[in-house]
């Protein structure tokens, strides 16, 4: 297939427009003017996100015997966040332009450590050297619990889902027979009062994370081995779901940017239209968290008690969804003049709609009847969304499914009435083959394996 030469530099605008038009992602609270940093997923977006989470869970939990899952609560006892260090250290450096009063993250304006952020140029009003000195800005989102005004307790919405795994470390050990090395996996929402939300969903104030906390023995050999192991696993997982290798890289954290809990850390970055950008972190958290929560592990065989070390893989569902969309976006230069064929070449496991069924002509009852009955049957046999469409002409219907990434379209035509076969069109090759109606279920079962 021809390379994606026509996409151009306004790719982000095209993605944002497509997401809104086709129902992947809408601006949050849009009818009231929106709210910065919040997004709503539409009918296709929620399928994409669910598919990502489903694949993650399958590979990180269901297909392993050394990882169990949990689903912790968003609000926890505030002592959790004191012990974890977030109340004190979950901060970003905030600077404000004295001229236009826009606020920025100092580390986003100045890449070079030695340069003073106060001297930077304001991206809003373009003034130089008008910034306030950086001050620490805590990202935890606060809310209040309690029914009596004045007696309410201040609590935090979790800033990372991680802590749920640590506070349940003992519960998991006591209620399962799992032994070190083992992991606790979790997917859920996290909230951060980001100073500069932006780049579409990339930096939001409410987002979803998928994380593994993997507990190991407390020595360097094990630490190095598991850190490398999980780096490898995570990168392979993204590649196996279709992200192009050349758009992915690891980036080691410099000493100054490592989070307060991390011994060492590497990000998986994507070559986004707005630059190389982190969307998963592999962190060696050492014994930071368990020792802050006074938790230890007892080896039943040796009787040895110690504080395990933790290797964490922390990915963003929203950032992954965005990068899967960007990476799969393709404008087909062979579509012909005046035709615009946009294709999302999403991996079939991630595609929001798995199969679409059409009657060749909408006004031929015999065709519509057969198509509807195939549609009904496929809805039962396929794990995911099956669509039916009889609007417009067949070419437009194909293009419409291509644009949302539907891997296969089934068309009932006049030959179908004679020999009980249908055409199955492949999104990426646009080639069609004739398949017997009777064997459609097994044909697709094989495709989605
Ligand atoms: P950044 O440096 O971009 O602020 P981070 O290093 O603070 O990110 P982590 O705390 O390591 O991010 O969080 C793990 C993952 O959670 C990130 O790789 C990302 O996928 C996701 N994530 C973090 N913050 C956000 C956000 N504001 N919006 C969307 N996803 C986020």
Residues with C-beta less than 6 Å from any ligand 1 atom: 160, 192, 194, 203-204, 207, 209, 278-281, 314-316, 318-319
pLDDT band at 6 (very low <50, low <70, confident <90, very high): very low
Supply the pLDDT for residue 5.
42
Residue nearest to atom 8 of ligand 1 (CA): 278
Supply the pLDDT for residue 8.
52
Q: How far is CA 301 from CA 147, 172, 296, 304, 305, in A?
A: 50, 19, 15, 8, 11
pLDDT surpasses 50 at 68 = yes
**Which of 235, 319, 322 should be mutated for ligand 1, with most atoms under 8 A from CB?**
319
Structural domain spans, the chain: 5-79+140-327, 92-138, 351-447
Task: Give the domain 92-138 fold.
Answer: Rubrerythrin, domain 2 (2.20.28)
Residue nearest to atom 24 of ligand 1 (CA): 203
pLDDT surpasses 60 at 317 = yes
pLDDT surpasses 70 at 4 = no
pTM score, whole prediction:
0.94
What architecture is the 5-79+140-327 domain classified under in CATH? Answer: 2-Layer Sandwich (3.30)
Q: How many CA atoms lie within 13 A of 344 on its CB side?
A: 29
Q: CA-based angle 59:60:65, to the nearest 5?
A: 100
Ligand 1 nearest atom to the CA of residue 205, by list position? 27
Supply the pLDDT for residue 35.
97
CA of 414 to the centre of ligand 1 (A): 53
Ligand 1 nearest atom to the CA of residue 204, by list position? 28
CA of 250 to the centre of ligand 1 (A): 15
pLDDT surpasses 90 at 334 = no
CA of 216 to the centre of ligand 1 (A): 24
Q: Round to whole Å and give the CA distance between 179 and 157.
A: 31
In sequence order, the 6+-apart residues with CB closer than 8 A to the CB of 243 are 270, 323, 324, 327
Residue nearest to atom 1 of ligand 1 (CA): 278
User: Class of 351-447 per CATH?
Assistant: alpha beta
Helix H or strand E segment including 297: strand 297-298
**Which of 56, 161, 281, 289 should be mutated for ligand 1, with most atoms under 8 A from CB?**
281
Residue nearest to atom 29 of ligand 1 (CA): 203
Supply the pLDDT for residue 1.
35
Q: Round to whole Å and give the CA distance between 289 and 83.
A: 8
Residue pointed to by tokens 């379209």: 409
């Amino acid at each position: 297939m021809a390379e994606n030469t026509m996409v151009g530099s306004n790719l982000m605008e095209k993605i944002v427009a497509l997401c809104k038009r086709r129902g992947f992602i809408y601006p949050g609270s849009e009818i009231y003017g929106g709210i910065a940093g919040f997004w709503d997923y539409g009918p296709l977006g929620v399928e994409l996100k669910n598919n990502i989470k489903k694949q993650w869970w399958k590979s990180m939990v269901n297909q392993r015997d050394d990882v169990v899952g949990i689903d912790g609560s968003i609000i926890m006892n505030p002592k959790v966040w004191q012990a974890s260090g977030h109340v004190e250290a979950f901060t970003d450096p905030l600077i404000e332009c004295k001229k236009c009063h826009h606020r920025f993250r100092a580390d986003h304006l100045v890449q070079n450590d030695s340069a003073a952020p106060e001297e930077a140029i304001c991206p809003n009003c373009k003034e130089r050297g008008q910034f306030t000195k950086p001050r620490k800005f805590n990202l935890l989102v606060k809310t209040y619990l309690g029914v009596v005004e004045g007696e309410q307790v201040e609590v935090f919405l979790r800033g990372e889902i991680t802590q749920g795994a640590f506070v349940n470390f003992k519960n998991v050990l006591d209620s399962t027979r799992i032994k070190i090395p083992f992991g606790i996996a979790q997917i859920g929402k996290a909230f951060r009062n980001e100073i500069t939300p932006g780049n579409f969903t990339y930096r939001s104030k409410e987002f979803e994370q998928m994380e593994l906390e993997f507990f190991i023995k407390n020595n360097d050999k094990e630490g190095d081995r598991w850190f490398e192991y999980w780096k490898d696993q995570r990168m392979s997982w993204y590649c196996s779901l279709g992200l192009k290798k050349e758009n992915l890289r690891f980036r080691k954290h410099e000493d100054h940017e490592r989070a307060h809990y991390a011994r060492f850390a590497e990000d998986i970055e994507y070559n986004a239209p707005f630059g190389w950008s982190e969307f998963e972190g592999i962190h060696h958290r050492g014994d930071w968290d368990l020792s802050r929560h006074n938790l230890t592990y007892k080896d039943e065989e040796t009787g040895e008690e110690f504080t395990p070390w933790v290797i964490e893989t922390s990915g963003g569902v929203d950032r992954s969804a965005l990068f899967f969309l960007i990476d799969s976006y393709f404008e087909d230069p062979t579509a012909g003049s005046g035709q615009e064929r946009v294709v999302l070449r999403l991996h079939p496991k991630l595609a929001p709609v798995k199969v679409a069924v059409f009657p060749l002509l909408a006004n031929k009852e015999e065709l519509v009847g057969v198509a509807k009955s195939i549609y009904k049957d496929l809805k039962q046999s396929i794990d995911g969304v099956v669509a039916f469409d009889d609007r417009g002409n067949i070419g437009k219907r194909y293009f419409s499914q291509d644009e949302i990434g539907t891997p296969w379209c089934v068309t009932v035509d006049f030959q179908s009435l004679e020999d009980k076969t249908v055409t199955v069109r492949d999104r990426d090759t646009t080639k069609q083959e004739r398949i017997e109606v009777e064997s459609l279920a097994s044909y697709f079962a094989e495709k989605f394996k």
